[in-house]
């Protein structure tokens, strides 16, 4: 009884300390945001980049990033690995700071004669998706400023519901959600039941946007950069059920705080012998597309994510299957 009371007390205080830490981090972040708001957009983004490149190597996740990079690029020197990691921290800082200036940064105008900060490749696909009265799936990865993709979709009249994962920090999550909603249209937090909500959008002929490059515990066994990982089957399952077109899209960060938004040709999805979409092969295909993008611009992806971590339950089942065999 006494031990249970101690555990309950420790849990309660631990939760309170965690909330206090979230609040302090959020206050510090909002202070930084207030300072950046005083600067012109270019100056603020360049400043954030410089600071992140200095601070990044001192962050615990930096070691995770280096380990992932060395395994993904065994042929690269340590200097090259460190340079990619530095670019990654600069990219992540710019992404965070760009929330402040989203309205100013997205200046794409289809009728403009002069190039702005944003250029669009694959305009015909944006127009086609917006004009078709049927469901579509658009997927991307955490590359460049991926948040600009739904803004571009709205520019072309594409009604899209974007699935996103809110930060663990509830105070920052509220701020980011309010910022996203003001520019990106319909948003759906990733949580229990999100797959049913996405299915409902497609059922009604809508379009969904999904990030596909994160670890998914107990997901399908796939590979990424030749290494085993677990991936979410939801997108492929929805594509099979609704027989909808699937388009890859990405944001490429360009010099001078500029961006190129690309939507590629729709994928030719792998099929089973019965003619239905092959869920496992399609999930692997999505990984292959994202890997191609990352290899082209490695400094624009979040290498500190534990993409290749396999859940303990899956390891245990594999070991049991091996022993049984």
Q: What is the pLDDT of residues 67-90, one digit of tens each?
A: 999 999 999 999 999 999 999 999
Lowest mean pLDDT across 44-53, 101-110, 195-204: 101-110
Residue 315: pLDDT band (50, 70, 90) is very low
Backbone angles phi, psi at 69, to 5 degrees: -65, -40
**Residue 65 predicted with pLDDT over 90:** yes
**Residue 305 predicted with pLDDT over 80:** yes
Residue 322: pLDDT band (50, 70, 90) is very low
Lowest mean pLDDT across 22-26, 250-254, 270-274: 22-26
Task: Write the DSSP string, 43-87.
Answer: HHHHHHHHHHHHHGGGSTHHHHHHHHHHHH-TTS-HHHHHHHHHH
Lowest mean pLDDT across 128-142, 223-237, 265-279, 300-314: 300-314
Q: Count CB-CB contacts under 10 A for residue 102.
A: 17
Q: What is the pLDDT of residue 260?
A: 96
Q: Count CB-CB contacts under 10 A for residue 27.
A: 11
Q: Contact 47/36 with Cβ under 8 angstroms? A: yes
Residue 208: pLDDT band (50, 70, 90) is very high
pTM: 0.85
Averaged pLDDT for residues 277-290:
98
Q: What is the pLDDT of residue 106?
A: 87
Distances (CA, A) of 124 to 129, 195, 284, 305: 9, 29, 27, 33
Residue written as token pair 């007390």 = 9
CB neighbour list of residue 260: distance below 8 Å, 6 or more residues apart: 118, 119, 120, 121, 251, 252, 254
Helix ranges (H only) for 204-259 are 234-242
Q: Contact 187/213 with Cβ under 8 angstroms? A: no
Q: What is the pLDDT of residues 42-62, one digit of tens each?
A: 999 999 999 999 999 999 899
Averaged pLDDT for residues 207-230:
93
Query: Considering the chain, what is the average pLDDT of its residues?
Result: 85
Question: Considering the chain, what percentage of its residues have pLDDT values greater than 70?
Answer: 81
Q: Where are the beta strands (DSSP E) in 127-242?
A: 136-140, 160-164, 186-189, 207-211, 220-224, 227-231
Q: What is the pLDDT of residue 161?
A: 85
Lowest mean pLDDT across 62-76, 119-133, 166-180, 194-208: 166-180
d(CA 105, CA 150): 14
């Amino acid at each position: 009884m006494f031990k249970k009371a101690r555990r309950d007390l420790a849990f309660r205080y631990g939760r309170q300390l965690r909330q206090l830490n979230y609040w302090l981090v959020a206050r510090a972040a909002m202070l930084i945001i207030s300072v950046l708001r005083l600067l012109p957009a270019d100056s603020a983004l360049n400043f954030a980049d410089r600071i992140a490149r200095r601070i990044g190597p001192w962050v615990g996740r930096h070691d995770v990033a280096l380990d992932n990079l060395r395994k993904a690029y065994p042929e690269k020197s340590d200097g090259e690995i460190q340079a990619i990691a530095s670019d990654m921290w600069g990219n992540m800082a710019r992404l965070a700071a760009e929330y402040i200036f989203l309205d100013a940064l997205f200046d794409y105008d289809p009728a403009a004669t002069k190039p702005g900060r944003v250029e669009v490749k694959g305009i015909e696909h944006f127009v086609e998706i917006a004009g078709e009265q049927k469901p579509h799936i658009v997927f991307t990865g955490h590359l460049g400023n991926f948040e600009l993709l739904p803004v571009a979709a709205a520019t072309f009249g594409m009604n899209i519901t974007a699935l996103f994962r809110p930060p663990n920090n509830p105070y920052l999550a509220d701020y980011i959600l309010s910022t996203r909603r003001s520019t990106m249209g319909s948003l759906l937090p990733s949580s229990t039941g999100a797959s049913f909500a996405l299915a409902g959008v497609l059922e009604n002929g809508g379009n969904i946007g999904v990030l596909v490059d994160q670890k998914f515990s107990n997901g399908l066994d796939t590979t990424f950069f030749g290494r085993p990982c677990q991936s979410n089957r939801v997108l492929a399952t929805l594509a099979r059920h609704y027989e909808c077109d699937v388009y890859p899209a990405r944001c490429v960060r360009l010099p001078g705080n500029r961006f190129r938004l690309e939507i590629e040709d729709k994928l030719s999805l792998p099929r089973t012998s019965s003619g239905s979409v092959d869920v496992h092969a399609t999930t692997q295909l999505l990984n292959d597309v994202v890997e191609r993008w990352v290899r082209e611009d490695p400094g624009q992806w979040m290498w500190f994510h534990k993409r290749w971590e396999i859940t303990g339950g899956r390891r245990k089942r594999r070991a049991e299957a091996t022993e049984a065999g």
